[in-house]
């Protein structure tokens, strides 16, 4: 069983390009993210954050 820590943050402004090659930022509405994220656990965390009113 894997334990995850999830943090909610608010984007303010871009400090620079992604630090890791091949990474691209995507700005999505939470509903879109809950639908298209690759990992089911990530999609579930977005759904839970929406249900809790965090995003």
pLDDT(34) > 90: yes
Let me know if residue 44 belongs to a domain. Answer: yes
pLDDT(32) > 90: yes
Using the Cα atoms of residue 6, residue 9, residue 11 and residue 16 in order, give the sign of their dihedral: negative
From residue 23, alpha-carbon distances to 17, 18, 26, 49 in Å are 9, 6, 10, 24
* Predicted TM-score of the model (pTM): 0.69
Q: How many domains does the chain have?
A: 1
- Spatial separation of the C-alpha atoms in residues 55 and 47, rounded to whole Å: 9
Q: What per-residue confidence (pLDDT) applies to 23?
A: 82
Q: What per-residue confidence (pLDDT) applies to 52?
A: 95
- Mean pLDDT for the chain overall: 88
Q: Which domain holds residue 35?
A: 25-55
pLDDT top residue among 46 and 3: 46
Residues 6 and 45: beta-carbon distance below 8 Å: yes
Output DSSP code: residue 36.
H
pLDDT top residue among 38 and 7: 38
Let me know if residue 14 belongs to a domain. Answer: no
pLDDT(15) > 90: no
């Amino acid at each position: 069983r894997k334990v995850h820590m999830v943090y909610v943050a608010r984007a303010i402004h871009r400090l620079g390009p992604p630090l890791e090659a091949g990474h691209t930022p995507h700005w999505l509405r939470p509903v879109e993210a809950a639908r298209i994220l690759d990992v089911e656990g990530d999609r579930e965390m977005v759904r839970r954050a929406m249900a809790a009113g965090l995003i």
